[in-house]
Structure 1
Amino acid sequence: MKLRSIVTGTALALLVSGGVLAQDFDLEALIEAAKSEPPLTIYDSTGKIVDMAEGFAAKYGIEATGTKSKATAQMETIIREVRSGNVQTDVSLISDPAAVIGQLLPAGFVESWVPPDLEADILPEARDPLLVVSSPNIFTYNTNLFETCPISNIWQLTEPEWKGRVSMQDPLGKPSYTDWFNQMRSYADDKIKAAYEARYGKPLESEFESATEAFVAALASNGPLLTDSDSSAAEAVAAPGQTEPFVGLVSAAKFRDNEGAGFTLGLCAGMDPIIGFSNATVGVIVKGTNSPNAARLFMHYAMTAEGIAPQAQDGKVSSNTTVGLPDDEPSGVGAHLDEVLHYNPATGLDDWETRQDWQDFWRIHYSR
């Protein structure tokens, strides 16, 4: 059995088969080792990483800089830095789990590390790789135009009444949407099929191999309004003065615009069989970092209620089961998480490998 230390100093934690033995993990030793290392550089696709880095620095007295960067940019930076031997990025929170699973991890550009003292509280499916948070993308409606959500079954989105009046990001530019399609086929296909029969009173008969493909094709052919951002999709649904009835698929984080921008977004609770899907953010440590202990300490911090608080305010759900959403989180999705299709990294490689197929499938069937 091969052992090596991950901290310096008098107290050593032992790394065994890729993970520290829980009984040997010494958080105080990790903190002391981290304090002797260079400042930490952290990237995430949300601006809340700035607040997280500041909170980390204040708690531990370790200089840390958080920077907002899109997942694709983060990956390109990591690959370039590791290949050149000039690693400047220490920790990356990447909202593209399939790409991390399909590209970064197998090529050895990054490593996943689960805090041993928190592992028992982290969902088993979120440990390999470590999923820090899941971001619910949920169906919404305009509470000024409807008393309740006008959609009770996902197949209604494919009907003539809603032709051109479903707003969502373009799957050709948003990989999490093609991952959603693949995750539905992998884990919820029977539910999609059952929802069809519940809506129309007859079994689904289709030219396609799965109910998910039939649904995606029907949705695409119904001409949804495709946008380049969640903000634009949310505006179509519930911006001030909006009089045309839309439903939209947007991040729970957009519900903060109800107060900040006067939006009137409502959550489509109770939709059969799901009210949306979650996209996960993977936390990784870059190979070759000069601050490996500080990087691990930040990952530990991010998996606590204190560390993830800035993102929890936007409805992002920690994989630590002891960490909940704040009571005043504006979307209310916390009460409906069992209605969300949660990302399962077990088929992450398949999500990665089928992206082009799903994009081609969408392109073929999309019609305005």
Structure 2
Amino acid sequence: MKKTITSALALFIGLGAAQAEDFNLDALIEAAKSEPPLTVYDSTGKITEMADAFSAKYGLKAEGIKSKATAQLETVIREVQSGNVQTDVSFISDVPAAIGQLLPGGFAESWVPPDLAADIAPVAQNPLLIVSSPNILAYSTALFDKCPITNIWQLTDADWKGKVSMQDPLGKPSYTDWFNQMRSHADDKVAAAYEAHYGKKLETTYGSATEAFVAALAANSPLLTDSDSAAAEAVAAPGQTEPFIGLVSAAKFRDNEGAGFTLGLCSGVDPIIGFSSGTVGLIVKGTDSPNAAKLFVHYALTAEGIAPQAADGKVSSNKSVGLPADEPSGIAAHLDEVLAYDPSTGLEDWESRQDWQDFWRLAYAR
């Protein structure tokens, strides 16, 4: 099975390379100008700024609408089934759902701009990831001179009981996806980190080191929140005197200037300082603006197009596009310490969500 998938992916990449010679951006722009206005959904409000800039650049009308991933799923499926497609492009921050529902159901398609394919890692092309959003361990620079932990297993120790803030995995699928990604792609590193911290090999009745870690973390009564903002507030809001470690979006570091927070990035934590979740760019099946939709996907993969999101620490899948020097979290220098989202196990992430939620529910100490 793996050999078949690998061969198919190689063929896909080869076709993309061949098509790069025939791709004509100017022709795509001209074709887009004859199509109806574009509607683009994303889970971030920055999509309105992106759509406005796109409209100004190309002389096309595009509307950006902020919508949660679950709402996008429902909208796209309903519109395609009814034959009344109003959504043209869906930037959906739930890659497993896209892989498990939208793509196999024929509700949307993934398109990789041929002229940019060489700068996009193969693993980020099928489906096409627009950006990755780092969720990273953070501490308060007002309470500590440096990150107070050096190993993720410390978060399961008595010293940090009730002092880890994070979104509730029962309400935030990207956290159960993180668990599954860690088990699929970094379980050996989690086991090695245990041995480095405790000076002995991990012995567990669980099926993996990741499960042992997740169970221990849940049993240590982390402070569960319903938003990144609340998790960040517990760590570094003005006047906070209680020491917390938080797992928060890199975008929350903008509150250091905007709201007087004192968030500091935890670097050098064994084996990872956090994880990234992806946003996949899909063109809705049946759109009456297919060329404009492709043009918007192309635009979002350029430095100019993704700039509003890059300012929040979201990393473009286009390797030639970096983060701005003044991005608040400083994550650009530590991306190799983040568990990058790997769509190759996205279907397993999707299918195992309920299992991980049940696992967390049973292990969590209230």
TM-score (norm 2): 0.95
Matching of residues 1-368 of structure 1 within 5 Å: 21-368=19-366
Give the superposition deviation at 1:61.
0.3
Tell me if the contact between 1:19 and 1:114 (Cα under 8 Å) persists in the aligned partners: no
- Partners in 1 of 2:18 and 2:306 — Cα distance? 23
Secondary structure in structure 2 of the residue aligned to 1:21: helix
Tell me if the contact between 2:55 and 2:61 (Cα under 8 Å) persists in the aligned partners: yes
Q: Larger helix proportion, structure 1 or 2? A: 2
Q: Provide the residue aligned with 1:9 in structure 2.
A: none
Paired letter, 1:331: S
Paired letter, 1:25: F
132 and 313 in structure 1: CA distance in 2 versus 1, 3 angstrom threshold: same
- Partners in 2 of 1:91 and 1:20 — Cα distance? 25
Give the superposition deviation at 1:22.
1.1
Give the superposition deviation at 1:21.
1.1
Tell me if the contact between 2:17 and 2:118 (Cα under 8 Å) persists in the aligned partners: no
Once the two structures are superposed, residues 42-78 of structure 1 have per-residue CA deviations (whole angstroms, 9 ceiling, x without a partner) of 0100011011001100110000000111000011000
The alignment of Structure 1 onto Structure 2 pairs a total of residues equal to 354
Give the superposition deviation at 1:23.
1.1
Secondary structure in structure 1 of the residue aligned to 2:91: strand
* Residue ranges of structure 2 left out of the alignment (5+ in a row): 1-11
Once the two structures are superposed, residues 149-178 of structure 1 have per-residue CA deviations (whole angstroms, 9 ceiling, x without a partner) of 111100000001111110000000000000
Paired letter, 1:99: A
Tell me if the contact between 1:158 and 1:219 (Cα under 8 Å) persists in the aligned partners: yes
Give the superposition deviation at 1:19.
8.8
Tell me if the contact between 1:43 and 1:67 (Cα under 8 Å) persists in the aligned partners: yes
Secondary structure in structure 2 of the residue aligned to 1:172: coil
Once the two structures are superposed, residues 102-149 of structure 1 have per-residue CA deviations (whole angstroms, 9 ceiling, x without a partner) of 111000000000000000011111000000000000000000000001
Q: Provide the residue aligned with 1:10 in structure 2.
A: none
The root-mean-square deviation of aligned C-alpha atoms, in Å, is: 1.3
- Partners in 2 of 1:123 and 1:49 — Cα distance? 24
Paired letter, 1:253: A
Point out the more displaced range, 43-52 or 20-29.
Answer: 20-29
Q: Provide the residue aligned with 1:12 in structure 2.
A: none
Identity of aligned residues (%): 77
Secondary structure in structure 1 of the residue aligned to 2:134: strand
Secondary structure in structure 1 of the residue aligned to 2:20: coil
Once the two structures are superposed, residues 172-229 of structure 1 have per-residue CA deviations (whole angstroms, 9 ceiling, x without a partner) of 0000000000000000000000000000100001110100000000000000000000
Paired letter, 1:333: I
- Partners in 1 of 2:354 and 2:286 — Cα distance? 32
- Partners in 2 of 1:217 and 1:63 — Cα distance? 50
TM-score (norm 1): 0.95
- Partners in 2 of 1:240 and 1:37 — Cα distance? 50
